[in-house]
Amino acid sequence: MNDQMMYDLVGIGIGPFNLGMAALAEDLDIEAIYFDQKEEFNWHPGMLIEGADLQVPFLADLVTIANPKSPYTFINYLHENDRLYQFYFFNKLDIPRKEYNAYTRWVASKLSNCQFGKKVIDVTYHKEERYYEVIIEDIKRSETHKVKAKHVVLGTGSLPNVPEGFDKYPIEDVLHSNHYLYHEKQLKQSDSVTVIGSGQSAAELFYDLLNDQRHYKYKLNWFTRSAGFFQLESAKLGQEVFSPDYISYFHRLSYEEREEALSTLGPLRKGIDPETLKAIYDLLYHRSAEGNYPEATIQPMTEVNGVEKVDGVYRLACRQWQEDHSFTVDSEKVLLATGYKPHFPEWFTRMHDEIEWEDEKRYKVTLNQQLVFKDGRENHFFTLTNLEHSHGAGATNLALSVERNKRILNTVAGEEIFPIKTNTVFQQFSSKQM
Ligand SMILES: Cc1cc2nc3c(=O)[nH]c(=O)nc-3n(C[C@H](O)[C@H](O)[C@H](O)COP(=O)(O)OP(=O)(O)OC[C@H]3O[C@@H](n4cnc5c(N)ncnc54)[C@H](O)[C@@H]3O)c2cc1C
């Protein structure tokens, strides 16, 4: 980090999104630097469950879609780590989630423009001199540094969404899915575990707990407010909404039309991978054939509205909404697979009145990922966080993050270094093109 120089771009947070951008930026004529508060790169370590796969093909690695010749492709990772032949015989597009993490850690270890253990604690815009001052805390040394940047990019990702009232209990008892592996042993050694939610994480955790139930004998519950345990729509034509063409189409719609579009795309956005659902069902069936198996309650249409500690266990207030029937369930451990919410650093709220908003919580974002400042400044504040309302169903999709990074780097460079391709899928979304 150089306190004296003017960086073209400072990245805040290094998850896969900014890491991919750092990998693409490294060989460009752009002075870019990225900071993360964590000591090292690690992708959702609490959810690197044995046997879990990445939900997108390996081609959605950090760089391939922008530059397949980059040294940071997944294929080059395999090559440099002598795994190409095994991968060739493995013969699958879906790679283990643990391997994606190993690959991204390998990329992070090679990049000189990524700095860890550095938390961005403030960003101020100097209007006259036209630059952002970024204040960074070196966590280990308890020192602060300032760097100057023409542009910044917010890549602070998301935080676990813990329902109100569930956050006051010890994390080893009532925990979010994001912390699962850190407390797995205690969960499995308890008398009863309740999983709440019906997305992919909930299903993966339920399967893992169901699988080990025969060794540990805990009682297992799985509740969801949803009407059922449904699978994600995976038809190939349907998947084309996760394409640059759909994003451009979606972005042109009015805010109301985008909201409406998101609600109609529910089956593509929310649900469980068909393979995970099949594995759960097969396991249940095999166990049922054995006769004497431990108890598992699986119940949809059931919202869990509250929790209190009674006689050493957690009493969950539940309601089957279709029958309007309220009841309680006691559980020693509670596992919340209740999703994530956008993560905004505290200092970001100061910018509230300087930017344009679409509603109370959703800022306006251009197709090239810029926030829209009322003062019309030329120093961009890009965001990779909280984009569903502006960029659609693929807002957190790993492949599309590479596409977003192309646009950001092109904007910073002031030229189309990475060609923006159109007509990339078989269908068209707008009839106005006809
Ligand atoms: C369990 C799980 C599995 C997923 N699997 C897939 C999948 O298979 N396919 C897919 O397409 N998508 C998947 N996703 C969605 C998405 O790809 C991931 O959430 C991805 O990690 C998002 O990357 P990110 O860079 O936005 O943020 P994150 O990975 O959340 O990283 C944000 C980083 O910002 C840092 N940070 C925050 N504030 C500061 C600050 N003030 N200063 C410095 N650093 C800061 C944090 O330490 C963190 O490292 C998955 C999500 C989850 C939760």
Q: Where are the domains of the chain?
A: 6-157+343-433, 161-232+270-336
Query: Smallest Cα–Cα separation from 229: which of 200, 202, 198, 206?
Result: 198
Q: Name the residue with tokens 């015989």.
A: 89
Q: Could you tell me if the CB of 276 is within 6 A of ligand 1?
A: no
Residue from 10, 36, 101 to probe ligand 1 pocket by mutation (most atoms less than 8 Å from CB): 36
On the question of pLDDT at 269 being above 90, the answer is no
pLDDT band at 351 (very low <50, low <70, confident <90, very high): very high
**Which pLDDT score is estimated for 232?**
93
Mean pLDDT, rounded, for 167-180: 97
Task: Write out pLDDT tens, residues 49-89.
Answer: 999 999 999 999 999 999 999 999 999 999 999 999 999 99
Index of the ligand 1 atom closest to the CA of residue 54: 8
> Which neighbouring-strand residues pair with 397?
none
Banded model confidence at residue 433, pLDDT cuts 50, 70, 90: low
The answer to whether the 6-157+343-433 and 161-232+270-336 domains have the same CATH topology is yes
Beta strands in 182-247 (DSSP E): 192-196, 219-223
Over residues 363-377, the mean pLDDT reads: 96
Which of 420, 419, 409 has the alpha carbon at shortest distance from 28?
A: 409
Answer whether 114 contacts ligand 1 (Cβ < 6 A): no
Name which residue leads in pLDDT, 33 or 422. Answer: 33
In this prediction, residue 291 has a pLDDT band, given cuts at 50, 70 and 90, of: confident
Ligand 1 neighbour 78 (Cβ under 6 A): no
Dihedral, CA of residue 388, residue 413, residue 105 and residue 387, to nearest 10: -10
Give Cα separations from 16 to 19, 101, 105, 266, 344 (angstroms): 5, 9, 10, 25, 17
Residue 73 Cβ < 6 Å to ligand 1 = no
- Which residues are CB-contacts of 119 (< 8 A; sequence separation ≥ 6)? 35, 37, 136, 137, 139
Instruction: Report the distance separating Cα 145 and Cα 2, nearest Å.
Output: 9
CATH architecture, domain 6-157+343-433 = 3-Layer(bba) Sandwich (3.50)
Helix (H, G, I), strand (E, B) or coil at 302: strand
Place of tokens 């991968």: 87
Q: Is 158 in the pocket of ligand 1 (CB under 6 A)?
A: yes
Question: How would residue 3 be classed by pLDDT, with cut points 50, 70 and 90?
Answer: confident
Per-residue pLDDT band for 283 (boundaries 50, 70, 90) equals: very high
Tell which atom from ligand 1 comes closest to the C-alpha of 60.
Answer: 11
Percent of the chain with pLDDT over 70: 100
Residue 216 CA, ligand 1 centroid: distance in Å: 32
Residue 155: half-sphere exposure toward Cβ, Cα within 13 Å: 26
Q: Is ligand 1 within 6 A of the CB of residue 64?
A: no
Mean pLDDT of the chain: 95
One-character DSSP codes across 237-280:
HHHTTSSHHHHHHHHHS-HHHHHHHHHHTHHHHSSB-HHHHHHH
269 or 420: whose pLDDT is higher?
A: 420
Report whether residue 273 contacts ligand 1, using a CB cutoff of 6 Å: no
Q: What percent of the chain has pLDDT over 90?
A: 93
Question: Residue 100 CA: which ligand 1 atom is closest?
Answer: 8
Closest CA to 145 of 42, 21, 35, 38: 35
Task: Tell me the β-bridge partners of 304.
Answer: 318
pLDDT at 31 over 80: yes
In angstroms, the CA 327 to CA 107 distance is 50
Q: Give CA 356 to chain center in angstroms.
A: 25
- Whether the CA torsion 33, 37, 42, 46 is positive or negative: it is negative
Burial of 245 (0-12, 13-18, 19+ CB in 10 A): buried
The stretch 225-235 carries a mean pLDDT of 94
Residue 47 pLDDT exceeds 60: yes
Mention the CATH class of domain 161-232+270-336. Answer: alpha beta
One-letter identity of residue 282: D
Radius of gyration of the chain (CA): 23
pLDDT for 191 = 96
Ligand 1 in reach of 199 Cβ (< 6 A) = no
In this structure, are residues 196 and 220 in contact, taking their beta carbons and an 8 Å threshold?
Answer: no
Across 37-98, the runs of DSSP E, i.e. the strands, are none
Q: How much is the pLDDT for 337?
A: 97
Q: How far does the chain reach from its first CA to its final CA, in angstroms?
A: 51
- Assess whether pLDDT exceeds 70 at residue 434: no
pLDDT for 290: 84
